[in-house]
Amino acid sequence: MTSQMRAEIGEQPDALRRTIDALLPRTPDIAALARETRQVLFIARGSSDNAAVYGRYLVESHAGRLGTLAAPSVATTYKRRLDLSGVLAVAISQSGKTEEIVETLDWARGCGARTVAVTNGAGSPLAEAAEVALVTEAGDEIAVPATKTYTTQLAALSVLGLGLGADVVVDDLRRVPDEVARMIAETEASPALPEIVEELARVPGAVVSGRGIAFGTALELALKIKEACYLHAMGLSYADLLHGPIAVVDAQTPALLVAAGSGPTLSGTIALARRVESAGAKAFGVGGGDGLAAACTAALPGPGLPEWVAPPALIVPGQIMVENLARRLGVDPDVPRGLNKVTQTD
């Protein structure tokens, strides 16, 4: 039986196409705020926080603006006022109803920031609180693990980058829906898929690593493994992994390595795969082209997109792997224990 999670994975090409078409005309609105700001503060939790990591790397590496991740507790628990003049605060929430995120965006505005919301909830409290609301067109998402709401958030953040003056080609973004459709078909036909699923089904956990623009994808894949499969998964930049945690990678703790097919972090990811394999552990690739595949025990395909816009398609093989792994372990991926679609935090 097809899970709701798998059905929603399959809806992503259309959801992305609708979102990109709806949001690209909003770049002048973002550009107007950009003229009055210098840096970007991302406010998010959960999968949305992983999307924010992508947004941070995008605006820093391609738009020349400092990007930082907010600590919402400073606003909601410590209740400290900061000088946020010259800051563009970007709050990300799939529902737009998480009270902590809405409260933190209100706090940012009160501290002098200009405000943007990224949400799938048209008319939600978050959308109403922002000066510019980038409302994604994912449609209703029933399964608890975010799939299409996550990838459409990434598309919205790509549009944000364009509005902030990123030195990228807009037509690359328009190619994303077709690449996602290709990723779905190629991943499900890949002989590496059942091999990786079987290997992960017999171990207690894994390390998931990427760097730079792919780092958010690694964090999101680790989160999906934890919440949908109940396995331990540590998401790390490979630079941090090499500083000590690589000691945990062994025959019972394989490494999942995530990379775009090009870009400055690819060679380091390939080198890490070779190091993992030489230590007697297994490395499984997600993306990274032929070079990463050759260095790994097995590898899932990756998109033919430039690094800046690869993440919306790069996560898709991981989503499919997680859905297959959950069912292999006898877990319902649609309703992970202890989780709800909208999570409230204080």
User: Mapped to the 3 state alphabet, what secondary structure does 304-328 carry?
Assistant: CCCHHHCHHHHHHHHHHHHHHHHHH
State the residue range of the domain holding 201: 179-328
Give the pLDDT of residue 279: 83
Looking at the domain assignment, is residue 8 inside a domain?
yes
pLDDT interval class at 251 (50, 70, 90): confident
Residues 109 and 35 reside in one and the same domain: yes
Among the listed residues 12, 63, 50, 1, the one whose alpha carbon sits nearest the alpha carbon of residue 316: 12
Indicate whether 152 pLDDT > 50: yes
Please state, in angstroms and rounded to a whole number, the distance separating the CA atoms of residues 258 and 256.
7
Residues 160 and 185 reside in one and the same domain: no
Tell me the three state secondary structure of residue 299: strand
Residues 190 and 169 reside in one and the same domain: no
Indicate whether 106 pLDDT > 80: yes
Tell me the three state secondary structure of residue 155: helix
Among the listed residues 250, 251, 257, 241, the one whose alpha carbon sits nearest the alpha carbon of residue 293: 257
Count up the domains in the chain and report the number: 2
Bigger pLDDT: 253 vs 73: 73
Residues 166 and 186 reside in one and the same domain: no
Residues 107 and 63 reside in one and the same domain: yes
DSSP type of residue 343: -
341 belongs to the catalytic site: yes
Looking at the domain assignment, is residue 333 inside a domain?
no
Looking at the domain assignment, is residue 341 inside a domain?
no
Q: What is the mean pLDDT of residues 13-31?
A: 98
- Residues 127, 129, 135, CA angle at the centre, nearest 5°? 15
Please state, in angstroms and rounded to a whole number, the distance separating the CA atoms of residues 90 and 53.
12
Point out the catalytic residue in the list 97, 148, 224, 341: 341
Residues 65 and 191 reside in one and the same domain: no
Report pLDDT digits (tens) over 107-145. 999 999 999 999 999 999 999 999 999 999 999 999 999
CATH number at residue 89: 3.40.50.10490
Report pLDDT digits (tens) over 295-342. 999 999 999 999 999 999 999 999 999 999 999 999 999 987 655 545
Give the pLDDT of residue 250: 76
Residues 275 and 322 reside in one and the same domain: yes
Residues 163 and 22 reside in one and the same domain: yes
Residues 16 and 163 reside in one and the same domain: yes
When the pLDDT of each residue in the chain is averaged and rounded to a whole number, the result is 94
Residues 47 and 166 reside in one and the same domain: yes
